Every structure is written in C-alpha cells, then in structure tokens.
Amino acid sequence: MPTIVFATPKGGAGKSTSALLLAAELARRGAAVTLIDADPNRPLVRWGGRPGCPENVSVVGDVTERTIINTIETAAQRTPFVIVDLEGTASRMQVYAISRADLVVVPTQGSVLDAVEAVAAVREVQQQEVAFRIKIPVAILFTRTSAALQPRTLSSIASEFEGQGIRVMSVRLHDRDAFRALFSFGGTLASLDPKQVRNIPAAQENASAFAGEVVAILKQQAAAA
C-alpha cells in the first residue's frame, strides 16, 4: 500500500499541514489512512486528540529511528494509505522513512532560501536511491502561495526545479485560514464552522485538487513499475 513521506529540512514550509490535508481528503473519499507523526512537536498527534478526527484516520506518534520502519510496515498492512510527517532535520529516521516511501513530497515556499533547502531534501532522496538501489519518486509542493497572484520569483524557481529534472506538482497549497484552523479546532475542512473560518469551500477545493494529484502520481508510478 502506498506510503507518502513529507520531508523538508526547512521549518515552517507547511509539511505537517500538507500531510494533514492529504490524510483528511483521502479519508473523505472513503480510504483508511494511518498518519505517522514523527515531528518532535507532535502537531498531528495533538490534532488527532481533538474532536472530529475521522474514524478512518489513525494517528501514530512516539516513533523513533529504531521503530520507524516497523511502524510504517505495520501500518501498511492495516490501511491502504500511510502518510509520514518527518521531523524537519536530517536524521537516520528521515533516511529510514524515505527508504520505505512510494512518494516523497517536499513542501516549500516560493523563496530562493526555501528552494535551496528543498533541493537539499531532493538530493537526500536521491542519495537513498543509490544506497538502497531502489527508485523513490519525489515531488516539490509549493505551499502558502497566493490564490490570486503568481510572483515571477515563484515561476522562476519552479522552472529551475524542472530544469534540474525535479518534478514540481501543478497544484499549489494556498495560504488559507481554513488550513491553519484545523490545528486550532480539530476535525476536517468539512467540519469547520463558517462563522469562525472564512472561505472554507475554496480551501476544500484546493485540498481536493492536491490529493487528486498525489493519487495520480502514485497511479502513474504503479503503472510504470
């Protein structure tokens, strides 16, 4: 069953938010999901402890570099999707998790400094491909973008990634109040109160498109295998 790993050495890139949005959207579509929180700050564990966590989403915390592989493999036997939110630093846990990934998503904001860190994450994945002699698909996900504007800097960075043969996801996760609200109120985008959170439908559409592209990439990889 597919394991999707979210990895980036840059804090604040939207890694945990992206992982949560994917898990919640897959669950909304009826899939069972295991969400593994390997971030020391445990944002997803805290989310899972709030009201409204979907019944078909299991949140697992307290993983270590010694247990991460077994945790992923056990989860893959129980649920069709496994999503791993890694810590934001290079570590053995990161290496082990990436070695079990069917797709590594590298979230990044559209700045040159963030792009440098994203490239470092991609190179780490490529090193693991060599070390383990396996193919590990990786894709860049732009986060916290504007729904109305596309800065030239962002387009330039995307072109540079693609010029280096690095896949860039066409869907971008915009800067949405609804995305942040999930960590405050718990639950999913569908359960948020429109009186408290603005523009929920646009956030839902964005998250759905993101999940759809992830699923499409996984299907493409499976067909090519």
pLDDT value of position 146: 86
pLDDT value of position 185: 95
pLDDT means over runs of 10, the chain (225 residues): 89 90 97 95 95 96 93 96 86 89 94 87 90 91 85 86 92 96 96 95 98 96 82
| C-beta separation of 34 from 81 below 8 A | yes
For 38-83, give the DSSP string: --TT-HHHHHHTSTT--TTEEEE----TTTHHHHHHHHHHH-SEEE
CA dist., res. 10 & res. 59, Å (int): 23
Segments making up each domain of the chain, as ranges: 3-224
CATH superfamily of 3-224: P-loop containing nucleotide triphosphate hydrolases (3.40.50.300)
**pTM of the predicted structure, to 2 decimals:** 0.94
